[in-house]
Amino acid sequence: MTGPPGVLIHADGALLARAAAARFITRLVDAQAARGIAHVVLTGGRNGNALLRELAASPARDAVDWAHVHVWWGDERFLPSGDADRNETQARAELLDELPLNPAFVHPMPASDGPDGNDPEAAAARYARELAVAARPETAAERGGVDVPSFDVALFGVGPDTHVASLFPELPATHERERTVVAVRGAPKPPPTRITLTFPAIRTAKDVWLLAAGADKAPAVRLGLAGGGSVQVPAAGAYGRRSTLWLLDRSAAAQLPPGLNRPASP
C-alpha cells in the first residue's frame, strides 16, 4: 500500500452515494483519457447499489465511453443466473442494463447453473482464467505479476463484521496468497456459498474505495482504519497500489480513531 488511506466523510448515505458516483465518473473519464479503456470492479450491498442508482440518475454519466469499460465483480453469491440476490442481477437492474456497454466487456462471476454446475471451486477457477485472459503482459510488473487486468478502481462495501467482498474474518479465503479467485463455503451471511476475489487480486487495483454508511458500520470502520490484521479484519487488508479511500457517512465515521475525521461535505 502506498501511504495511509484517505478518509472522506459525508453528511448521510444519500450524499455519500451521490458524491461517490460523481467521483467514479471522473475516475473513468481520466482512465479512458490515458488509455482509451477502463477496468472497474463493482460491489453489491446497500451502499454499492446506492452508488449504482446515483450513476444511473447522473447526466454526467454520458461523459464515459461505456463501450470501452470492462466491468468485473469483487464477489458473487453462488446462486442460479438471474437470481434476485446475485450482485450481477442487482447491478443490471440498477444501472448496467441502461448503459451502452459492450456485452463482451461485462464479466459476471459464474452462476450455480452455469457451465461448472454446482461446483463453486471450478467456477472460481473459471473466473480466474477470465481475469488472466484480460491481463496485459506488459503491465504485469506493476501488478506484482498477479494475473489480472489493471483495475482502475475497485469498489467494496464494508460489512458490520469488517468483511469486504466475500472475505469474512478468519475464513480460509482471507489466508489466500496465490490464487486470485476462490470459492467460499460456510459464509456467516447467507447464502453460505460464494465466489470472491482474494487479497492478491484486490491489491493490484490502482485505487480501492471502501464504502460504509450507517451506525451499524461504525465499529467495522474503526477496526479497519486502526491497522488490524487482514485475517481478523478483512477491511484492513483491502488497499490499492496507488491509493485507498474510505468513503463514509457521519454515522459510519462515529468511532473513527483520532485525527481521521475529515468531513467532505457539510
Question: Where in the chain are the domains?
Answer: 6-249
CATH number for the domain whose boundaries are 6-249: 3.40.50.1360
Mean pLDDT in residue range 149-175: 97
Residue 168 has pLDDT above 80, yes or no: yes
Mean pLDDT in residue range 79-104: 98
The residues with which 245 forms a beta bridge, in sequence order, are 6, 209
Whether the CB-CB separation of 207 and 242 falls below 8 Å is answered with yes
pLDDT at 133: 94
pLDDT over 70 percentage in the chain: 95
pLDDT at 4: 86
Shortest CA distance to 225 belongs to which of 263, 252, 187? 252
Task: Quote the CA–CA distance of 266 and 262 in Å, as a whole number.
Answer: 11
The residues with which 156 forms a beta bridge, in sequence order, are 210
